[in-house]
């Protein structure tokens, strides 16, 4: 509830009248549009950075980050079909990199936010996914052509490449699971 309360306090400071519950926050923006943050779409890293995925009923979705000094970063989620609706499927800190996977009408997007920069690392329809202990995403697309997308995130760099699916059997910590 502490994370929800921090976000609620920030929204109140921004001039919004909110409704805080055990599962999330709801409010209307300056145009009277319903907005919300669900508890399961909030994450905090070891340095106290708080991030969340913010829903909006007319297609203006945001990823926001609250820093310890109450500075905020807001990124309007990219989509070709935001009016159809967007759902946050995954949000997690990996060190100081915020990783978000969201779905719109035709595709999933895997996004990295780091140092006020936004990088879209993958766009496609994910059928299976694995995050290994070394912070490597392995993604299988629905229209798989025998390859996996491998997205490596470490402290110093990020790399995105494609590997043949048959090579996955040799990688012991990759157990692809269905992705919703």
CA gap 15, 7 in Å, rounded: 13
pLDDT digits (tens, 9 = 90+) for 6-29: 999 999 999 999 999 999 999 999
The whole-chain average pLDDT of the chain stands at 90
CA gap 158, 57 in Å, rounded: 33
Is the pLDDT at 82 greater than 70, yes or no? no
pLDDT digits (tens, 9 = 90+) for 102-147: 999 889 999 999 999 999 999 999 999 988 878 888 888 888 778 8
Average pLDDT over residues 148-154: 87
Instruction: Give start and end residues of each alpha helix (H) in 14-80.
Output: none
Is the pLDDT at 168 greater than 90, yes or no? no
């Amino acid at each position: 509830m502490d994370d929800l309360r921090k976000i609620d306090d920030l929204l109140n400071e921004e001039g919004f009248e909110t409704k805080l519950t055990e599962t999330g926050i709801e409010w209307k923006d300056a145009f009277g549009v319903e907005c919300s943050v669900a508890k399961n779409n909030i994450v905090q890293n070891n340095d106290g950075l708080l991030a969340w995925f913010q829903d909006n009923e007319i297609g203006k979705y945001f990823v926001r980050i609250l820093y310890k000094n109450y500075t905020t970063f807001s990124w309007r989620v990219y989509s070709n079909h935001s009016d159809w609706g967007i759902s946050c499927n995954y949000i997690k800190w990996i060190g100081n990199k915020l990783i978000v996977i969201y779905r719109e009408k035709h595709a999933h997007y895997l996004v990295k936010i780091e140092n006020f920069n936004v990088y879209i690392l993958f766009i496609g329809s994910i059928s299976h996914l694995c995050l290994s202990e070394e912070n490597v995403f392995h993604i299988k697309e629905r229209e798989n052509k025998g390859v996996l997308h491998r997205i490596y995130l470490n402290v110093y760099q990020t790399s995105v490449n494609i590997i043949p699916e048959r090579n996955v059997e040799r990688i012991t910590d990759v157990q692809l699971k269905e992705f919703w």
